[in-house]
Structure 1
Amino acid sequence: MNKNQIEKAYQLAKTAYAELGVDTDAVLEQINQVVISLHCWQTDDVGGFETPDATLSGGGIQATGNYPGKASSISEMRQDLEKVLSLLPGSQRLNLHAIYGDFGGELVDRDQIDPKHFQSWIDWCKQQGIGMDFNATCFSHPKAADGFTLSSKNEVNRRFWVEHVKRCRAIAAEVGKQLGTPCIHNTWIPDGSKDTPIDRNGHRTLLKQSLDEAMSIDYPKEYMKDAVESKLFGIGAESMTVGSHDFYLGYAIQNNKLICLDNGHFHPTEQVGDKLSACLQFVDEVLLHLTRPVRWDSDHVVTLNEEVQLIASEVIRNNFLDRVNIGLDFFDASINRIGAYVVGTRAAQKAFLIALLEPTDQLKSLEEKGQLFERLALLEELKTKPFGAIWDYYCLKEGVPVGEDFIKTIQHYETEQLSKRQA
C-alpha cells in the first residue's frame, strides 16, 4: 500500500474503534511507552566474546540450527542490532549478557570483569539513544560443568560465582548511572539435578546464602534494579531446579527484588499473564521475558499468539506498564537471525497495541453487571476489528517499513552482509 492508502485505511479504522469509545490517536501516543529490551544473544546463538570457540554448556541453553551469517564480533553484532532497530517502531533497549564484554582479545575470567569491559557498549547505547540491561552469565564455563553455580557445594566454585554476580551488579549500576535510566540486572542460574536428589534443601540454602552475599551492596534504584529468574527445568536439570519459581518469588518478596517471569519457564498449562496481578500484589516491579515455548522451554521466536496477548492485555488492563519491564528471550539459529529479531519484537508490539485498543472500561462494566454473554461477544468481535490498519499507520508514522516490506530489507541485508561472513 502507498501512503494515501495507509492513511485512508487508518481513518476508517479510527471510526470503527471510536464507535467503541477508543481514541486511536491517543493509543498511538501510549504505545510508545511500551519499551522492549532486545536480547543481544539472538545475533550469535548465545556464544559471547570470551573465547573464539565459545561452546554452550550448563543446563537448558541450546540454540538449534546453524543458519549462515551469525555475528562473530562486537562490530558485527552492533551492525546487526542497528539494522534491527531501524526496522522497529517505538522504543527499545539493549539487554546484554556478561559474556559479551569488550575484552580486547584478552582472556578475562568472570570473577575479574569490571565496567571498563563494557564501556564501549555504554557508549554505543548513548549513540543509539537507548537504555541497557545486564545479566550475569552463570553457564558455559568450567566452573558450571557439574551443573551447579551459586548453589554449589564446592566452595571454591560457589565463591567464584558470588564474585561474578557482585561484579555484574556493579557493572549494571555504572551502566544505569551513565545512561540515565535504571539498568535491570537479572540473575538466572542453571543449577539443578538430572536425577532425583536427596539434599534439595542444602542446595537451596546455599543459593539463598549466595544471593545474600552477592547482593549485599545496595545501589541507588535510579542506577540499577535486581531481578531473579526461575525455571521449571532444563537439560541436565530435569528432576530438580534449585532456583524454582517458589524459591525466587519468596526471595523477591522478602528482599524487595523484581521477579522475572519468563513465559517459557513454567508448566505448559500455566499462564504468565495470570501471574502478573498475583505477583504485583507483593513486589514493586516485574521483569518479563517473552518467548514462545513449544512443548518445553524451546525459546522459539515470539509470535502474536494467545499467550503473549494475555500477558500484554493484563499489563494494559491493570495499568501495570510502569511496573512491568519488558524483554525478549529467544534464540533461533535455524532462520535468518535478523528476521527472527524483527518478527519477534513486532509480534510483542502488536500484542500491546491490540491491548491498548480494547475498550477495557466497557468490558469491565459488563463483567461487573454479570453480563457475561455480552462480555464474550464483544471480546470475539474485537478480534476482527481493523487492527492491522492501526498497526500499518503506526509504522508509517514511525518511519519504518509497513506490513511485509521489512522482509525485502532483511533479504537485501542478508545478501550484502550476512552471506559474506565466515561460518
Structure 2
Amino acid sequence: MTVEKRFLDAKQQYEKWGVNVEEALQQLKHVPISVHCWQGDDVGGFEVNANELSGGIDVTGNYPGKARTPDELRQDLEKALSLIPGKHKVNLHAIYLETEGEVVDRNEIEPKHFEKWVEWAKKVGVGLDFNPTLFSHPKAEDGLTLSHPDQEIREFWIEHCIRSRKIAEYFGKELGQPALTNIWIPDGYKDVPSDRLTPRKRLKESLDRIFAEEIDEQYNIDAVESKLFGIGSEAYVVGSHEFYMGYALQNQKLCLLDTGHYHPTEMVSNKISSMLLFSEKLALHVSRPVRWDSDHVVTLDDELREIGLEIVRNNALDNVMIGLDFFDASINRVAAWTIGTRNMVKSLLLALLTPNEHLKELQEKGQFTERLALMEEFKTYPFGAIWDYYCEQNGVPVQESWLEDVHVYEKEVLSKREA
C-alpha cells in the first residue's frame, strides 16, 4: 500500500472525530524547532584557547566522526536538517565563534565572529538562536559567574552577556526572524550554603545590568533558564526555578524551562499551562533526563507526548519557543539530531491529531469514563501513516529509511575524520 493510500485511510479515521488533518499538517509546517549545534561536537566549540568542559556538564562516549571545525559542524547540521521535515532553527553557544586564529575572550565577542554562521543560515533557510557561554572558562572555575563575590569577575560575565544579546540582535536583523538569547549559568555550591540570599541579590543585579540596554524584540528575545542542581552545585543553585520565574515575570523576559532541570518526578508538561496564564510567551529546552539531568537524546516518551499536547491543546504553538538540548557521544551524532528532532515534531503532530476540544468538553461535563477511554484509544490510532505522508510531502525520508542516508554519510564523510 502506498504512503498516500495509507494516509487517506488514516485521515478518514481522524476526521470522524472532527480532526482536520490537512489543517494540522499546515500548522505543523510553520513550527520551528531550534536544533542545538553542540550535539555535533560534544559541547567543544571553536575558541582558539579552548578549555575543558566544566560547569556541571559532561558528555560521555567517543563515537567516531565528531565535528572538528565550524565547516564540518555546519555540514553535519545540514545533513541532519535534510532528514527532518519542516523548516527549523539552529541554536548556537558563544563558543562557536570563528576568529581566524585570533584569541578572542568571551567579553570581546562581536557579530563579525558569527558572520559565517549567518551566511550559512541564509543559504539553508534557517533562523539562529544564541546562548552566552558561562562555563568552560578560567573565570568560571569555582562554579560562580554572574553571582560571583568578585566584582571584576561579575563585570567580565556581564559584558559577555551584553555582547551576546547584540549578536542575537544581529542574527534577527540579518535573517528576518527574532533570535532567542537564553542565559543559563552554573552558579551554585556543592555543600549547604550559609547564605542563600546574597548570591541571588548579586545575580539579580547582574541581570538588571545585562538587560538595561533595550533591544527591539523584533530582533532579539531574552530568556533566563533555571536548574535544580549540577555536578559541583548539588546543594544549592543560585538561579533556581523560583528565582528565574519571578525575575522573568517582573521584567517581561521569557522563562525557559529545561525538561532535565527539575526533580525526577516533576513534569515540565504540567507547568506549561500555569506559566502561560501569567506570561505571553515561554521557552523550552527539551531533553531527556535519566535519573538526573543527563541530556539523553529525546525519545517519544510519555512526557514528550504530554508536552506536545499542552502546547497544542492550549493554542500555544505561537507562544512557546521550542529548543532542544541533548548531547550523546556514544552514538552517531547526526543520527542523534535526527532522532531527537523528528520525535519533537512527532509529539506536536500527535497533539494536532487529537480531538482536543471534544476531550475538554467531556472533562467539563464530568464524563471521565469517556475521557479516559478515548484518550487511551487515540494512542493506537494510525498516526504513523499521517507522519509518513508528512515526511514524504516535505521531501525527507519516510520511516526508518533515513538511517541509510546516515550510514552512507558516515562512510563517506564521518569515518574519514581523525579523532
CA displacement 1:226-262 (0-9 Å, x = unmatched): 0000000000000000000000000000000000011
In the alignment, the residues of structure 2 paired with residue 173 and residue 149 of structure 1 have an alpha-carbon distance, to the nearest angstrom, of 23
Structure 1 residue corresponding to 2:302, chosen from 278, 291, 306? 306
Q: Is the aligned partner of 1:190 residue 2:198?
A: no
Read off the aligned partner of 2:37 and give its amino acid letter.
C
Q: Which secondary structure state, in structure 2, belongs to the residue aligned with residue 123 of structure 1?
A: helix
What corresponds to 1:38 in structure 2? 35
Written as runs of structure 1 = structure 2, the 5 A alignment for 1:331-370 is 331-370=327-366
Tell me if structure 2 keeps the 8 A contact 1:256–1:284.
Answer: no
Structure 1 residue corresponding to 2:378, chosen from 382, 392, 398? 382
Read off the aligned partner of 2:42 and give its amino acid letter.
D
In the alignment, the residues of structure 2 paired with residue 53 and residue 228 of structure 1 have an alpha-carbon distance, to the nearest angstrom, of 25
Read off the aligned partner of 1:38 and give its amino acid letter.
V
- Shift of residue 51 of structure 1? 3.0
Written as runs of structure 1 = structure 2, the 5 A alignment for 1:210-221 is 210-221=206-217
Structure 2 residue corresponding to 1:264, chosen from 246, 252, 260? 260
What corresponds to 1:418 in structure 2? 414
What corresponds to 1:113 in structure 2? 109
In the alignment, the residues of structure 1 paired with residue 276 and residue 50 of structure 2 have an alpha-carbon distance, to the nearest angstrom, of 42
Tell me if structure 2 keeps the 8 A contact 1:34–1:352.
Answer: no
What corresponds to 1:48 in structure 2? 45
What corresponds to 2:16 in structure 1? 19
Written as runs of structure 1 = structure 2, the 5 A alignment for 1:75-94 is 75-94=71-90
Tell me if structure 2 keeps the 8 A contact 1:149–1:161.
Answer: yes
CA displacement 1:150-177 (0-9 Å, x = unmatched): 0000111111001100100111111111
Structure 2 residue corresponding to 1:68, chosen from 44, 64, 72? 64
In the alignment, the residues of structure 2 paired with residue 398 and residue 374 of structure 1 have an alpha-carbon distance, to the nearest angstrom, of 36
- Shift of residue 33 of structure 1? 2.1
Q: Which secondary structure state, in structure 2, belongs to the residue aligned with residue 296 of structure 1?
A: coil
**Contiguous gaps of at least 5 residues in structure 1:** none
In the alignment, the residues of structure 2 paired with residue 385 and residue 87 of structure 1 have an alpha-carbon distance, to the nearest angstrom, of 25
In the alignment, the residues of structure 2 paired with residue 63 and residue 158 of structure 1 have an alpha-carbon distance, to the nearest angstrom, of 27
In the alignment, the residues of structure 1 paired with residue 51 and residue 9 of structure 2 have an alpha-carbon distance, to the nearest angstrom, of 53
- Shift of residue 53 of structure 1? 5.1
CA root-mean-square deviation:
0.9
In the alignment, the residues of structure 2 paired with residue 95 and residue 397 of structure 1 have an alpha-carbon distance, to the nearest angstrom, of 26
- Shift of residue 54 of structure 1? 3.8
Q: Is the aligned partner of 1:207 residue 2:164?
A: no
| Larger deviation, residues 122-131 vs 369-378 | 122-131
CA displacement 1:305-345 (0-9 Å, x = unmatched): 11011111000000011110000000000100000000000
CA displacement 1:44-98 (0-9 Å, x = unmatched): 000000037542012x211111111100100100100110111110121010000
Q: Is the aligned partner of 1:124 residue 2:152?
A: no
Q: Is the aligned partner of 1:104 residue 2:105?
A: no
| Larger deviation, residues 126-135 vs 241-250 | 126-135
CA displacement 1:345-401 (0-9 Å, x = unmatched): 001110000000000111111111110000000001101100000000000101100
In the alignment, the residues of structure 1 paired with residue 279 and residue 201 of structure 2 have an alpha-carbon distance, to the nearest angstrom, of 22
CA displacement 1:175-222 (0-9 Å, x = unmatched): 111111011100000000000111211110000000001111011110
In the alignment, the residues of structure 1 paired with residue 278 and residue 14 of structure 2 have an alpha-carbon distance, to the nearest angstrom, of 35
Tell me if structure 1 keeps the 8 A contact 2:87–2:125.
Answer: no
Written as runs of structure 1 = structure 2, the 5 A alignment for 1:207-246 is 207-246=203-242
**Aligned length in residues:** 419
TM-score (norm 2): 0.99
Tell me if structure 2 keeps the 8 A contact 1:166–1:215.
Answer: yes
In the alignment, the residues of structure 2 paired with residue 406 and residue 50 of structure 1 have an alpha-carbon distance, to the nearest angstrom, of 33
Read off the aligned partner of 1:283 and give its amino acid letter.
S
In the alignment, the residues of structure 2 paired with residue 366 and residue 250 of structure 1 have an alpha-carbon distance, to the nearest angstrom, of 35
Read off the aligned partner of 2:337 and give its amino acid letter.
Y
Written as runs of structure 1 = structure 2, the 5 A alignment for 1:273-284 is 273-284=269-280
Read off the aligned partner of 2:240 and give its amino acid letter.
S
In the alignment, the residues of structure 1 paired with residue 312 and residue 224 of structure 2 have an alpha-carbon distance, to the nearest angstrom, of 23
In the alignment, the residues of structure 2 paired with residue 181 and residue 416 of structure 1 have an alpha-carbon distance, to the nearest angstrom, of 35
Read off the aligned partner of 1:296 and give its amino acid letter.
W
Tell me if structure 1 keeps the 8 A contact 2:258–2:286.
Answer: yes
Structure 1 residue corresponding to 2:176, chosen from 149, 155, 180? 180
In the alignment, the residues of structure 2 paired with residue 137 and residue 283 of structure 1 have an alpha-carbon distance, to the nearest angstrom, of 26
Tell me if structure 2 keeps the 8 A contact 1:22–1:359.
Answer: yes
- Shift of residue 107 of structure 1? 1.1
Tell me if structure 2 keeps the 8 A contact 1:176–1:183.
Answer: yes
Q: Which secondary structure state, in structure 2, belongs to the residue aligned with residue 297 of structure 1?
A: coil
TM-score (norm 1): 0.98
In the alignment, the residues of structure 1 paired with residue 208 and residue 149 of structure 2 have an alpha-carbon distance, to the nearest angstrom, of 16
